[in-house]
Structure 1
Amino acid sequence: MGAGYCGPAYTDQETLNKVVAIADKAGYQVELHAMGDEAVHMLLDAFEYAQKENGKRDARHQIAHATLMRDEDIQRMADLEVIGAMQPMWFYYDPFFSYMEEANFGPERFAKEYRVKTMLDAGIVMTGSVDYPITLEVRPLTGIQAGATQQSPFDEGENDPKTLRNPNEAVSVMDMIKFYTTNGAKALFMEDKIGSIEKDKLADMVVLGQNLTEVDVRQVANTGVLYTISGGRVVYEGGDKTVAALPIQ
C-alpha cells in the first residue's frame, strides 16, 4: 500500500453531501461514525455542505469516534459546531487493540489518535460513551479516569507505563465529568432537563463516595456509588465508599 492509502469508501462524497443535507433540511440531528482521518474529513465536508445549502442552525450534528483527524479538521469541526461522541475507554494503551493500531498506522500516526485536549482547546464539545459491546466496561468513572490520565483506569494497570498512551492529551477530571453530564445533555438537546443539578431539572443523579475533583486522580475509578436517584426516587443504595476497579474480560 502506497503513501496516502485509505480504506474504500462505501459512498461517494456527492451522495453523502446530499443525504446529510436532506436530513438537515428536515430538521434531523445527524450522527455518523468515522474512525479514519479521511472518513472524518468526508463527514465534515458533508456537514459543511449542508450548512451552506440550508443555512446555519443549532443542529448539533455528531461524529462518533473521530479517532484520527487531520490537523486542519480539528478546528473545522469546532467551527462547524459538530459534536464528538467519544469513547474514553479507548484513550489509553490497552492490551487488546492499541498494539495492532500502532503496528498498522505506525508510531507517528498512532500518536495522532484521540487528541482530546487539542480538540477541547479548539472548542469541540465532546461526550462520553462506551461503544458497547465492543467495549464491555461501561462505568463512566473508569472513562473519567482514563481521559484524565491517558492510562489504564484499572488497578492492575494504572501504574504500568506500558498503558500510557499520550500524556500531552490528558484533560482535567472536571473536563471528563462534563463529557458525561452537561455535554451529554447538550448533545441530546436536553440541557434544560438534565446534565446538572439545578432548579426545575429532573432529579436524575448519583451520589458518590468521594469528591472526584479532590481525590488522587488514580482513585476516581475506585469511587463507589452511594445512591442512584431517578425521577427523584432512590433506586439504588450502595455500601462501601470505594470499590475495586477491575477490567471486564
Structure 2
Amino acid sequence: MKAFSMIKTIKLLFFAIFCIILASCGKNPEVIYINGKIYTLDKNNTVVEAIAVYEGKILATGKSSELTEKYKDAKVVDLKGKTVVPGFIDAEANLMEFSKQLSLLDLRNARSVDEIVNIVRERSKTAGPNDWIGGFGWDEMKLPEKDMERLHHSLLDAVSTTQSIYLVNALGNTTWVNKKVLEQTKVTKDTPDPENGAIGFDENNTPNGLYYEAAQELVIDILPQPSEQEVMSNITRGINELFKYGITEINDANITEQGLSVYKKMVDDNKFPIRLYAMIPGKGPLFEKYISSGPEEYKDRINVKCVSLEYDGYFETQDAAMENDYNEDPKRMTPFNDDFDIKEMTKKANEKDFQISVKTVGDRALTQTLNAIESVNKEVKSKAGRTRLEYLEFVTPADMQRIKAMEIIPSIRPEVTLTDKLFLNEMIKPENGQNLGLWSNLFKQNNIIISGTDFPYHTINPLVVMYYLSSGLSVDTAANRLTNNTAQKLSVLDALKSFTVYSAFASFAEEVKGTLEKDKFADMVVLSDDIVASDPQVLLKTKILMTIIRGEVVYENKSPGALLY
C-alpha cells in the first residue's frame, strides 16, 4: 500500500513538472526589443542585443536574430543600436510635493530678487484678481547677498495686494509671502515663534513676510486644498514627468496616511505605473498603525517595509549635528529626533520585520544614531536588516568601521555634498572636510552605495547625479576651481548601479528589479549614448529616448534614436 502511494506521488510530481515545462514553452512574448546594446547589470555584467517581454516580465534575453526567429508573432521594437540600462530607482524623492510644485512658478533659475518678482508679475497678469499664486525653487545660493537683505512682503505687494502670493525656496525651508497672505496667517509683532521654526521680522519689529522651517505651517494651513481628483491629476502629471528622466521607482520618506491612501486608489484604478517604496515616518499614528499590522506589499506597486526618522538636516543651513561648533550662531544644532526617538523606532521596527532608515548628515548625528541602533540590536535583533543611513556626509574613521561591522547601507546625495564642500571652511573648522563625501571609501568597504536625487529639492536627473558621483565634479566650472571630490569618485558603472542594482537591494526589490534578467520586470531606459563605455562627461549630454515599464513604452522622446514598428 505504501509503495502504491509512493508511485502515485512520483507520478503526480512528474505531471506537475511536465505542466510547468509545457506552460513555459507555451509562452509567447508580446514584444521583443532588438538591436540594442543592453547592459543587463547581472553579476557578470552581461551585454545582450535583445529582450523578449511576456506579461510585463523578461521572458528571454539574447541575440536579436535568435529571439525574432523563435518568437515570430511578437511585436518588435528596433532600438537601432542604442544603449539600454535598467530603469532608475531613486533612493530619495517626494512624489506628492513634486507633483504639487508642477503647478507652481518655477523659480530655480532666477538670479536676482527682481527676476523673481518679474516672473510673479507675469503670472499675476493672467491670474484672477483674488487667485493664489505659488512659486517654488528660489535659491539663496544663487542670489546676491544684498538681494537677500531686500526680501520683504512689500516687494510682492508691488505685484498685487489682492492676490495671495507665496514663494517657497529650493530647500523647502523658507516661504516668502505678500501682505495678503501675511494677514491671513494672523501673524503680528507679538506672535511667538513656533517650535522648530521662526517668523521673520524687519527692523521695525513687524512681520516681514518670511516664514522659516516649522513656521511655514502657518502658510500651509491656509492654502486652498485641492480635491482628491485634483491631487490624483497632479500625481499623474508628476509621474509622467519622472518618466522623462528614466525613473521607474522611487523611495519616498515623506509618506502621509492621506497620500498613501491616494496612491493605493490610483493603483486600484491602474493609474500608478511606477513602483513606490514607502518609507513611513518613525513615529506618529501611521507608524503605530503599521507597527501593529506589519509590512505591506500592495499589488506589486507599493511596498511599505521601511520606517524612517531624521536625526538632523542640511549642513548649509547649520541643521547638521556636528561634533564641532559652527562658527556662527546657532553654533550647536538640536536634533530633530534624538537618541530616544531612534531607539524607540528601532526596537518596534526590529520586532515587526521593518527596515529602518535614519537621516544622518553630521558626524555627531551619525555617531549617536549608530550608538542607538547598536544598543537596540543587542536586545532585539532586526528581522529585516539592511539598515539605511540617508544623506550620509560626514563620517569619522571610527564610524566608517562601525558602518561596515553593522552591515549598514550608505545612502548619499552627491549634489548636496559638492555644495557643502564649497562653504565648509566658512562655516566650521576646516579639518571637518577630511570626513566629508567619502564615497569611494564607503563603497569599497561595503560593496554597496545608493544614490538619491532628493527631488524636488535638488536636481531630478539621475544621469546628472551619476556625473557628480563618477567625476567628483560639479557642473559649475567656477565651483570646481575652488573645490571638488575627485579623490572619492566612483566608476560610471558603479554610479549607475547606485541607481539600479544597489538601490533595488536596499528596497528589497532585487528579485524583481535592478537588473535585466529573466523573470524580472521589464523596466528599462533607452539612452542616446553609451554611458558605461564613455567618460563621465558624456552623462551630461545623454538623453532619455525611452522609458519602459513592464515592457510598455511609457515615455518616448520624439528626437531620432528609436523606432516603434
TM-score range, shorter chain: 0.7 to 0.9
1:107: which partner in 2? 430
Residues 1:144 and 2:461 are matched in the alignment? no
2:335: which partner in 1? 9
Gaps of 5+ in 2: 1-322, 326-331
TM-aligned CA deviation for residue 202 of structure 1:
0.3
Residues 1:233 and 2:552 are matched in the alignment? yes
Find the aligned partners of 2:335 and 2:461 in 1 and give their Cα distance: 33
Is contact 2:463–2:539 with CA below 8 Å preserved after alignment? yes
TM-aligned CA deviation for residue 91 of structure 1:
4.0
CA distance change for structure 1 residues 231 and 10 in 2, over 3 Å: closer, same or farther? Answer: closer
Residues 1:128 and 2:454 are matched in the alignment? no
- Residue 415 of structure 2 aligns with an amino acid whose one-letter code is M
Work out the percentage of aligned pairs sharing the same amino acid: 24
Is contact 1:228–1:237 with CA below 8 Å preserved after alignment? yes
1:65: which partner in 2? 391
Find the aligned partners of 1:75 and 1:197 in 2 and give their Cα distance: 33
TM-aligned CA deviation for residue 90 of structure 1:
2.4
TM-aligned CA deviation for residue 18 of structure 1:
3.6
Residues 1:75 and 2:75 are matched in the alignment? no
Of 426, 439, 456, the match for 1:116? 439
SS in 2 for 1:121: helix
Q: Give deviations 1:149-187, integer Å, cap 9, x for gaps.
A: 1101x3xx3586326422211111111011000111001
SS in 1 for 2:553: strand
- Residue 208 of structure 1 aligns with an amino acid whose one-letter code is L
- Residue 165 of structure 1 aligns with an amino acid whose one-letter code is N
Give the TM-score of the pair, scaled to structure 2. Answer: 0.39
TM-aligned CA deviation for residue 17 of structure 1:
2.3
Of 361, 369, 376, the match for 1:35? 361
SS in 2 for 1:180: coil
Residues 1:202 and 2:528 are matched in the alignment? no
In the TM superposition, 1:167-178 aligns within 5 A as: 167-178=486-497
Is contact 1:142–1:220 with CA below 8 Å preserved after alignment? yes
Gaps of 5+ in 1: 242-249
Is contact 1:91–1:165 with CA below 8 Å preserved after alignment? no
Is contact 1:151–1:163 with CA below 8 Å preserved after alignment? no
Higher share of residues assigned strand: 2
Please identify the structure whose Cα radius of gyration is greater: 2
Find the aligned partners of 1:112 and 1:222 in 2 and give their Cα distance: 31
TM-aligned CA deviation for residue 223 of structure 1:
0.7
Find the aligned partners of 1:134 and 1:121 in 2 and give their Cα distance: 29
Q: How many residues align?
A: 232
Tell me which of the two structures has the higher relative contact order, counting C-alpha pairs closer than 8 angstroms and 6 or more residues apart.
2
TM-aligned CA deviation for residue 124 of structure 1:
5.6
SS in 2 for 1:30: strand
CA distance change for structure 1 residues 230 and 100 in 2, over 3 Å: closer, same or farther? Answer: same
Q: Give deviations 1:59-102, integer Å, cap 9, x for gaps.
A: 1111111111111111211221111221122243x4xx543333
Q: Give deviations 1:18-73, integer Å, cap 9, x for gaps.
A: 43122211211111111110101111112212321123544111111111111111
Is contact 2:324–2:428 with CA below 8 Å preserved after alignment? no
SS in 2 for 1:229: strand
SS in 2 for 1:186: helix
Find the aligned partners of 1:145 and 1:163 in 2 and give their Cα distance: 18
2:74: which partner in 1? none
CA distance change for structure 1 residues 11 and 226 in 2, over 3 Å: closer, same or farther? Answer: closer
4+ residue runs over 4 A deviation: none
Is contact 1:193–1:200 with CA below 8 Å preserved after alignment? yes
Q: Give deviations 1:94-137, integer Å, cap 9, x for gaps.
A: 4xx543333112332124211000111121632111222331x1
TM-aligned CA deviation for residue 4 of structure 1:
4.0
Find the aligned partners of 1:172 and 1:163 in 2 and give their Cα distance: 23
Find the aligned partners of 1:69 and 1:124 in 2 and give their Cα distance: 17
SS in 1 for 2:435: coil
